[in-house]
Amino acid sequence: SSRAAAAALASATDNLQAARDAIQRGDLTTARRRFSKIPASQLTTGNVQRTQAELTGLERQRDEMLQTARGCEATGSWLCVRQNARDVLTIDASNAEAQTLVEHAIARSGWLNNNAAATTAAHSAPR
């Protein structure tokens, strides 16, 4: 019926906009969840396909950077871990694994201690 078609279109529009908003916020999990609610009948429209391509590309990029960060972690390259995990967080801010990797990298590299010592030295330097 035309009423069902109109409802499907409205649902697709709402979910597409919500997915786009989530991508803009760097929340790929929400973007994927909202995108998955778009009715199959609407998946062939250009706007939907462009958003799907963007989302899939960002997810692939995130996954590759996470894989790199994991590899760096395995070799103890903490700067590499921190950099790649932070890059993940720029496109997927809610990614718990990346957040954990950043925390581990900071703790393992002693970055907090080194930074605190440098800050203390800078503030206590004679003027």
* Residue 124: per-residue pLDDT: 44
pLDDT at residue number 119:
41
Going 53 to 54 to 60 to 64, the CA torsion angle's sign is positive
- Give the largest CA-CA distance in the chain: 81
Q: Does the model's pTM come out above 0.85? A: no
pLDDT at 21: 96
What pLDDT does 78 receive?
94
Pick the CATH number of 2-124 from 1.10.3470, 2.40.160, 3.40.50, 1.25.40: 1.25.40
Query: Could you tell me the residue ranges of all domains in the chain?
Result: 2-124
Find out whether 30 and 22 touch, Cβ atoms under 8 Å.
yes
pLDDT at 127: 42
pLDDT lower than 50: segments of the chain: 116-127
